[in-house]
Amino acid sequence: MKVSVLVPVYNKAAYVEEAVRSVLDGTWRDLEVIAVDDASTDGSAQVLERITDPRLRIVRHAANRGPAAAANTGIDAAHGEYIVRLDADDIAVPERVAKQVALMDAHPGIGASGGWLQLFGERDVAWRFPLTDEACRSALLFRVPLSQGASIVRRSVLEEHHLRYDPDWPRVGEDWLFWARIAPHTRFANLDEPLTLYRRGTQNISHGRDKVDTHRAILERLLPMFGVTATPERIDAHLMALTYFATPPDAAAVRRVHAWLQWLIAWNDEQARFPKAAFESTVQAQWDRLFHYLPRHGWSPALAHLRLSRSWPFDRLDFLLRTRINAVLGRL
């Protein structure tokens, strides 16, 4: 068996048949689909049972155990050389599995790879992910480097290093922590094309939840995975670097974020956890991105950012001025 497609399912009766059929009807035929029903209450299991393709296996949890446990159940049940992930309300493009198998076969040092997500109803909008191992690895402190719902993993990497999801991880963001757990043991890559049609909804890391609390719970676990003590002050600074503000930012908070990011660069120089050039580029991009979230909170945090950047580019000054004018006019 070459490929096992893992589809965790919880209350996705309206979508799960379309999701499963998208891989069963795809161009790659040598596969099994393992649908792990995590004690759905909406008839999802009954929908799955109506699919008669013998390549589909349904595994049921007696009680709801969460996405991490469902993923582990599917991994344990898999027979394939590769494990492909698909969310139960998304659709795999017909050539997805074939293209991912070709990449993995051609690059045996890559243990996990993914691709872009095409948003439903937005033909020209795709969520893009870093392409190279260096870029993926260097993004790990700031974002998910691979889309879980568009990923493929070499099963031998998981088995050789005894890698699984931790059932105690937050129910949102467990994919981010899983990539961090895998990172020391293999290389990453992403194809530069959409592989999955992605439905905005509850799988989104910020959907219907407090973004600050969600990311705080992730960072409390993520930072120690790289040997960084996750103090409340560091987490607050990192949250702000991710543009999640527990309180409205002021100039002092901007200075703390800048100091934190500079500390991370110095720490990486000493520890060599991430490729130096790619990591510094990622940190700089995160710092630059932060600026555009500051002007709506007043002149002070935005000006502090410009001073610390030692740069006063016209486009940022123009953006700051226009934002503050709109604030005065009540347009924000």
Q: Taking the domains of the chain in order of start, what are their residue ranges?
A: 3-198, 211-328
Q: Is 135 helix (H, G, I), strand (E, B) or coil?
A: helix
Q: How far is CA 93 from CA 28, 85, 90, 117, 225, in A?
A: 11, 13, 10, 10, 34
Q: Would you state the pLDDT for residue 200?
A: 73
Query: Could you tell me if 219 and 182 are in contact, meaning their C-beta atoms sit under 8 angstroms apart?
Result: no
Q: Residues of the chain whose pLDDT is less than 50?
A: 202-203, 205-208
**What is the C-alpha to C-alpha distance for residues 214 and 27, in angstroms, rounded to an integer?**
38
Q: Would you state the pLDDT for residue 207?
A: 46
**What is the C-alpha to C-alpha distance for residues 161 and 182, in angstroms, rounded to an integer?**
9
Q: Would you state the pLDDT for residue 332?
A: 62
**What is the C-alpha to C-alpha distance for residues 160 and 156, in angstroms, rounded to an integer?**
6
Q: How far is CA 320 from CA 295, 301, 314, 325, in A?
A: 5, 11, 10, 9
Q: Would you state the pLDDT for residue 113?
A: 99
**CATH code reported for the domain at 3-198:** 3.90.550.10
Query: Could you tell me if 261 and 283 are in contact, meaning their C-beta atoms sit under 8 angstroms apart?
Result: yes
Q: How far is CA 68 from CA 104, 242, 326, in A?
A: 24, 24, 44
Q: Would you state the pLDDT for residue 205?
A: 46
Identity of the residue numbered 95 = E
**What is the C-alpha to C-alpha distance for residues 120 and 107, in angstroms, rounded to an integer?**
31
Q: Would you state the pLDDT for residue 208?
A: 40
Separation of first and last alpha carbons in the chain: 56
**What is the C-alpha to C-alpha distance for residues 281 and 114, in angstroms, rounded to an integer?**
22
Within 10 angstroms of residue 83's Cβ, the number of other Cβ atoms is: 23
Q: Report how far Cα 213 is from the mean position of its chain's Cα atoms.
A: 17
Q: Is 299 helix (H, G, I), strand (E, B) or coil?
A: helix
Q: Would you state the pLDDT for residue 125?
A: 74
